[in-house]
Structure 1
Amino acid sequence: MQLMRLLLCAAYLLATAAAAAPLKAVFIPKGSTQIFWKEMARGAEDTAKNLHIEMVWRGPSQEDGVDAQARIIDFYIQQKYSGIILAPNSTAQLDKPIREAINKGIKVVIVDSPLTGQNTLPYVGTNNKEAGALAAAQAAKDFPQTKKILLLRYSAQHGSTAEREKGFLEHIHKLLPNAEVIDTQYAGITMQAAESSASAILSRIPGIDLIFTPNESSTEGTVRALKAKNLTGKIHHYGFDFNHKINQAIKDGSLNGAVIQDPFLMGQKAMRTLFELLEKKQTPALLETPAIMITTKNINHPEIRLKTDPFLKLYPR
C-alpha cells in the first residue's frame, strides 16, 4: 500500500512538472542581417511572451544557407522543442528535416516563403504574386512609354521572391505589351552581390529604362549601382521591402517606389498559429498579411508612416 502511494505521488509530480513545463519554439528565418527579419523577430517575440512560450530566434547568416537551416532544424529536434517556425531558404530541399520534425511530434509553421509541397503545414505570409503585380501596376501607370524593362531576379531557391517576380512579369506583359522584358538575370544573395550584378548588367545591356527588384538586398544594391553609374532618374526603379537606405532613396527620387510587407504582423501571426497547433486547435492553411505600395507621393502620409516608422526608429543604421 505504501509503495502504491509513493508511485501515485511520483506520477502526480511528473504530470504536474510536465504541465508546468513551458512550451519551447524555435523561429528559423532565412537570414540574420536584413531589417525585415529583425522586425519579424520582434512580432514573434511579442506574441511568444504573451502566450508564455520560450522562443529562440536562430537563422543562418546568409539567405542561401539551406544546409545551415537543416542543421538548425535537426538540433532543435534533438533538444525536443515543441514547435518550429521556418522561413525556408529552399522551396524543396528542406523536406527531409521537416518530415523528421513532424514525425517526432513537433508542430511546424511555414512563414514568408512557401514550400513546393506544402502538405498540411500552415503558411503565413504575403500574397507575393499580388504584391509583384502591385509594383507592375505602379510602374506602368507612372511610365506608360517604357520600352525596355529589367526584372532583376533574386534567387532561384526562394519561393517568395519567385512569386513576386512572376506577379510582376505577368502583369507588366498585360499592361505594357510592347515593352521588351529581360527576365533571366539574377542579383545574388547579398546587397553587395546585387550592386555588382546590376552594374555588370547595365554595362552589358544598353537601353534599359525601368528595373524591378524583388527584395531588400536587391533593391538597395541596385540603387547603389544606378548612383555609381550616374543613371539615377534616367532609369526608373521599383523595388521591394524597406530599410533606411530604401526610405532615403524613395524620398530623394532615386527609387520610384517600393512594395513593403508587414513582417511584425507576420511574426505575430506565425507564433499565434504555432500556439494554436500546440493547443490542438484547428488553424487555417493560409494566413495572408498585407503589402502596400510606397512612392515619393505617399511616403509621408500618416497611414504609411505607421508601417515604416518601426523600421526607421528601432533599427538605426
Structure 2
Amino acid sequence: MQLKKYFALLSLTLSLTLLLSCNSSPKEDQSTGMTTTETTKLKIAVIPKGSTHSFWKSIHAGAAKAAQEKGVEIIWQGPQKEDDRQMQIQVVQNFISRGVDGIVLAPLDDRSLATPVSSAVKRNIPVVIIDSGLQSEEYSSFVATDNKQGGKLCAKRLAELLNGKGKVIMLRYQEGSASTAEREAGFLEGMKEYGPTIELISTNQYAGATMEKAFQASQNLLNRFAEVDGIYCPNESSTQGMLRALQTSGRAKKVKFVGFDSNDALIAGINNGEIHGLAVQNPFKMGYEGVLTVVAVLKKEPYEKKVDTGVMLVTGENINTPEVKELLNPDLAKWLNE
C-alpha cells in the first residue's frame, strides 16, 4: 500500500514538473520569428562616448523615450571621459558576454571599436552606430548628424562675420573621433571658398577630451597668436574651453567665435554676444532613432541604413524662435527621472 502511494506521488510530481516546463518554454512570435518568453523584454545596451557632457544626457533621454514606446529595456553605460578607449571596449565586451539583444554605440575611436563590434555581430547581436562613424561595414545602421555639413555651416557663418577676410584659428577635438574630424574637414572645405583673403593661422592643435584640457589648449593658442580675428571649435568641450579662455584673456566679444553643440554656458555665450554661432545637433533624436532602429532590426522590420538627425546653426538672431527653443530645451527630466 505504501509502495502504491509512493508511485502515485512520484507520478504527480513528474506531471507537475512537465507542466511547468511546458508553460515556461520559449514561444516563437510568428510575426517576428523571434523566440522569447511572455515576460522577457528585449535588452538594449546604449553605450555613449562619455557621461559628463550634456550632449550624452540628451541622447540618454531620447533612448529612454524610445524604450518606453517600444516596451524594451535599455541599459546605459559608458566611460566617464571621452578619451578612455579601453574602458569603452571593455563595456562593449561585457555586454556581449551578458548576451544583450542589441547594442547602440557611439564609438569614441573609429578604428579600435571595430573589432568589438565585429565580435557582437558574430554573436548575433546587431549593432547600431550613433553620433560618430566606424571603420567597419558590419553594423546595421548609422544614426547621426551630417557632420561635414555642420562644419561647412560654421565656415560660412564665420566668413560672413569677418566679411571674408582675417586671421582664423581652428582648434581640433582629438584624434580618432570620426564625428569631429568630419566637422573639421567640412570647416576647412568651407573656408577654401573664400580664398586667400582668410588666413588659417593654426589648424593642427587638439583640445583633448575634457573642458579643462580644452581650456589649457585654448590659452596656449591665444598666447601664441596675439592677432586673431576668428575662431572655430568642433564640439561642446572644445567650444566651452575656448569660451573660458577668451573670457579670462579679455578677448571675448572682440574675436568672432563659432562653435559646435550646446549647453547652458554656451547658450549664455550666444545671448551675451561672446559666441557668434553654434552648430547644434539633435542628440535627443539621435538616441531616440538609435533605439528605434535596433528594435526594428531585431524584429525584422524595415529600417534605414543611414539616418540623418539634422543640424542647425543657432545665432543671436534666431535663438528665441520656437524652432530653436524646442531644439535647445528638450524635456530631459521627464525621461531620465531627474
The two structures have a TM-score, normalised by structure 1, of 0.93
Match of residue 197 from structure 2:
178
Letter in 2 for 1:88: P
Q: How many residues align?
A: 315
What amino acid does structure 1 have at the position aligned with 2:273?
A: G
2:54 partner letter: I
Provide, for residues 138-192 of structure 1, a one-character-per-residue CA deviation record: whole Å limited to 9, x for no partner. Answer: 1112222432111100011100000000001101111344222121111111111
Alignment-derived partner of residue 15 in structure 1: 26
Partner of 1:237: 257
Structure 1 equivalent of residue 221 of structure 2:
201
Compute the displacement of 1:120 (Å).
Answer: 4.7
Question: Quick one: which amino acid aligns to residue 183 of structure 1?
Answer: T
| 1:293 alignment partner in structure 2 | 313
User: Which residue of 38, 47, 52 maps to 1:28?
Assistant: 47
Cα displacement (A) at 1:107: 1.2
Given that 2:134 and 2:178 are in contact with CA atoms closer than 8 Å, whether structure 1 keeps it comes out as yes
Deviations 1:79-100 (A, max 9, x none): 1110110000100101221111
SS of the residue 2:271 aligns to = helix
What do residues 67-114 of structure 1 show as CA deviations (whole Å, max 9, x unaligned)? 111111111111111011000010010122111111111111000001
Measure the CA separation in 2 of the matches of 1:304 and 1:113: 23
Task: State the secondary structure of the residue aligned to 2:238.
Answer: helix
Unmatched segments (≥5 aa) in structure 1: none
Q: Please list, as runs of the form range in 1=range in 2, the aligned pairs for 1:223-302 lying within 5 A after superposition.
A: 223-302=243-322
Q: Residue 220 of structure 1 aligns to which amino acid in structure 2?
A: Q
Which residue among 198, 214, 218 is the counterpart of 2:238?
A: 218
One-letter identity of the residue aligned with 1:225: A
Moved more, 7-16 or 77-86: 7-16
Per the TM alignment, residue 227 of structure 1 is displaced from its structure 2 partner at its CA by 0.7
Answer whether contact 2:243 2:274 (CA < 8 A) is retained: yes
- Which residue is equivalent to 1:45? 64
Contact 2:168–2:231 (CA under 8 A) maintained in structure 1: yes
Paired-residue identity, %: 35
Give the Cα separation in 1 of the matches to 2:188 and 2:19. 66
Amino acid at match of 2:76: W
Q: 2:163 aligns with which of 140, 144, 166?
A: 144
Matched AA of 2:25: L
Matched, 1:78 2:89: no
> 1:141, 1:208 → 2: CA distance?
16
Offset of residue 250 of structure 1? 0.5
Residue 20 of structure 1 and its aligned partner are, at CA, apart by: 3.4
CA RMSD of aligned residues (A): 2.2
- What is the CA distance between 1:233 and its match in structure 2? 2.0
User: Quick check: which has more Rg, 1 or 2?
Assistant: 2
> CA 1:253/1:306 → structure 2, altered by over 3 Å: closer, same or farther?
same
1:106-125 correspondence to structure 2 within 5 Å = 106-125=125-144
* Alpha carbons 1:120, 1:285 under 8 Å: kept: no
Moved more, 203-212 or 216-225: 203-212
Counterpart of 2:303 in structure 1: which amino acid? T
> After alignment, is 103-112 or 280-289 more displaced?
280-289
Q: What letter corresponds to residue 147 of structure 1 in structure 2? A: G
